[in-house]
Structure 1
Amino acid sequence: MSGTAPPAPEHPRPLRVAVAGASGRMGRMLIEAIVASPDLRLTGALDIAGPSVGQRATAFLGDVPGPTITDDIRAGLQSADTLIDFTRPAGTLAHLGVCRELGVKAVIGTTGFDEAEKAQIAEFARDVAIVMAPNMSVGVNVVLKLLAMAAKALGDGYDVEVIEAHHRHKIDAPSGTALKMGEVVAAALGRDLKECAVYARDGYSAPDRGERARSTIGFSSIRGGDIVGDHTVLFAGDGERIEITHKSSSRATYAQGSLRAVRFLAGRANGLFGMDDVLGIAAAEVSA
C-alpha cells in the first residue's frame, strides 16, 4: 500500500472542573472522582479562609498533581469550564456571580435556598448553564419519578409522610431532597406543598397538632451520627401502607451524579436544568 496515513483522530480536551468546599467531605469525594475520570481535569479548588487554603487540593490522595486551594473565587474559577458547588446558599450565590462574569457553568448541589435566592439562580441561568438539584444521586431522581407515579395511582385515599435522616452536621431540615419529594407528591395530587406541609407536631391543638388532616403532607427529620442520607415516603391507607425508600451509604453516588451533570452541560451556553434533564427522564410520562 502507498500513500500518506490519515492523521490520528483528535481527542477532545478534558472538561476543566473547579470544586467549591474543596477540603470538606463532599469536596474531597468530588475531587477523587474527577481525578479518576480521564475526560475531566481538576483545575480549581475553592474554600473559605482557613488552614486548607494554600494546600494542594489533591494532597489527601498522595502524590497526585492538583491545584492549590484558594479563597479567591476569581482565581479558583479562572481556568474552569464548570464549577461543582455543595456548600451553603450565601457562598454558592457569591460563586455564581463570578461564574456569570467568567462564563463558567455550574452544578449546584447546595440546599436550603429560599424563594428569593432560587429566583437569583434562575437569573444567573439566563447567562450561564446551570444544573441544580437537591440531590445528585441517580437513584434518588429515579425515586422521584416513582413517587409521582405512586401518588397519582393512590390518590387522596392515603396519608403521606416524608421521613428523612442525616448526619449530625447537616444544617438544614427538612433536607432539600425531602422537600423535593414532598413537592413531587403534592403536584401529583393537585396540591400546593406550601399550603399542605406540616413540619412539626406537638400537643393537641390544630392545625399542626391533634388529629391528622387527610390533605396534609407531614415531614419528620432525624439527625445523628454519620448517616449519609436516608429518605422514605410513606403512603398510609386503611389496611395497607406503601413505603418508597432510598438510602445512601456513600457520598460517591452524589459525586458520580455531579460528574454526569458536568458532562451534560458541555456545549450548553445557558439555561437552568435539573437532574431529570441530565438523566433524560424529564419528559417521561407518569401515569396511573
Structure 2
Amino acid sequence: MKPASYEYHRAHDLEHALELLGELGEDAKPLAGGQSLVPMMNFRLARPSALIDLARLDELRYLRPVGDGLRIGALTTHRTVETATLPGGFGVLSRAARWIGHYPIRSRGTIGGSLAHGDATAEWCVLAVLLDARIVLRGPRGQRTVPAAEFFHGFLSTAAEPGELITEVVFPSPAPRAALTEFAQRQGDFGLVVVAVALETEGGHCRAARVAAGGVGSAAQRLPAVEQALAGAELTERAFAEAARAGVAELEPPEDIHASAGYRRTLTATLLRRACLEAGA
C-alpha cells in the first residue's frame, strides 16, 4: 500500500520545528529517521495530515558525557551509538544497538524516534527503563523532563503531549555489568521478548539487580519479582536459571498470533539467564 496524502514541511532548526507543530495541529507528525512512522503510513495505520522533516536539526545529534552520566541527542542514529567509543559503564548501549533491525535501519533510525514510537520491544525503550533514563521534551510550554518509568503508557502510547518533541535522553549513571538480549522469529524483526539486566556483584554473588523487559506487557517495564529472585544468587548459570524461573512464574504476557503467553514466559526466563550470564561474566 501507499500512504494517504499529506503535506511536507522541512524544519530549519528546533524552534522552527516547534512552530510548525503548533501551526499544523495534532495531526501533524515529526519525521526523524522514518523507520517506524513511514511503514505505518504505508499500511495506513498512521495518517498524518502533515510531516515535519527534522533532518536538518544537527543540534540534536550528539553523545555528551556529563559527570557520571551520558546525554544523547534525539536525532542520534542507532549506528552512531553502535560504533561510538562510549564512556566506561555505558558499553551496553553500543552492544544493544546491534540488535536493532538491519544496517540501513540502524543508519537511518534515531533514538528519539524509537522512544517516541514507544514500541514495547524496542531496545531503547527497554534500556531507558532499565537504566532509569530521563526523557527531555520541548514544547509550547517550554522544556520538561520525564523519567522513563513514567514515559511509556502502553501500546505505542507515551507521555509526550501534542506539540512536544523529544530532544534528548539522559542516562544518569553507568552500568558496567549490564546486558541486553532478545529473540525474534527472523533476524532484524522486532523481538518477541527483549530482556535487559544490570547487576551489582560482590564476592561471587549478585548483591542487587535491575531487570527490564519488553514483550511481556503493553510497554517496556521493570520486573521486580525477578530482581528479588536474583538478589543474593551466585554468579552461576544454574543459580541464574533458578532465579529466572522463579521470577517469571507470575508474569502474564500477552498472547497473539506469534506466541502464546506460556511460550513468552518460558522465553523470558531463557533470555534472563543468558543476559545474567553475560552481565555477570
TM-score range, shorter chain: under 0.3
Higher strand share: 2
Give the number of the structure whose alpha-carbon radius of gyration is greater: 1
TM-score between the two structures when normalised by the length of structure 2: 0.27
